[in-house]
Amino acid sequence: MRLYDTEIASRLLLGTAQYPSPAILAAAIDASGCDVVTVSLRRETADGSGAGFWDRVQATGARILPNTAGCHSVQEAVTTARMARDLFGTDWIKLEVIGHSDSLQPDVFQLVEAAGILCGEGFSVFPYTTDDLVVGERLLDAGCQVLMPWGAPIGSGQGLRNRDGLRAMRAHFPDVPLIVDAGIGRPSDACMAMELGMDAVLLNTAVARAGDPVMMARAMAQAVLAGRSGFDADPMEPRDMAVPSTPVLGLAELA
């Protein structure tokens, strides 16, 4: 999988918030085999108290994808992205501009505007968006080369609430990397996203809040791999009627 100019081996991207401890986070990243982890700028504070967390994440060897989590305006998101680039030393940014405080649905109007500004400044923007095709077109026009449609509200664990919408995105953007971001609750959800033809899955809460985050990280990695393999294998289409798996031609007829 190629994201901008970088080859990524794993199709599972992992968030780093809400884990019981930095040690469990590091173990979960290792168990997942992921190459990319998201980090919020808010974990790095002016007094350096976030240094232990940052050192632990760096030690995993995963690529850092800073995000603008918690931003509600263009100005806030753009400023946070610029600060993240200086702090983390990367042009990659997961762009979030939240428009609804309860559902955490992105404000797609401000999202497109912020994406245009950041792409113009040389950022590689990963926009957290809805499964709206028109919004996807506008984000690509703004300079994005990746789209990250939500499966369900952030942290809800509801799975894929609009499978038809994701199928439509895959058909409409056949050559654009699509990463389902938010809403994945179980390995079966991750597997389904990959069976629909998504290129990757980004999740956080489902692993961080599991009874055993390390085991869940491993399960998610296996689910993503199985789902992608199933998609690549070109599965059979559902049928309206039963079709016998044992041939009936040539069987003896008993009078």
Which residues face 52 on adjacent strands?
none
Alpha helices (H) in the chain, listed in sequence order = 22-32, 51-59, 74-88, 108-120, 133-142, 163-172, 187-195, 205-208, 213-232
144: annotated active-site residue: no
Our separate counts of H helices and E strands in the chain read 9, 10
φ/ψ bin of 15: left (φ > 0), alpha (ψ from -120 to 50), beta (otherwise): beta
Compute φ and ψ for 85, nearest 5 degrees: -65, -40
Out of 11, 94, 138, 228, the active site residue is 94
Residue type, 48: G
Chain Cα centroid distance, residue 152: 12
| Count of alpha carbons within 13 angstroms of residue 96, beta-carbon side | 22
Residue type, 157: G
Chain Cα centroid distance, residue 125: 13
Measured CA to CA, the distance from residue 223 to residue 220 in angstroms comes to: 5
Residues annotated as catalytic (active site), given as ranges: 94
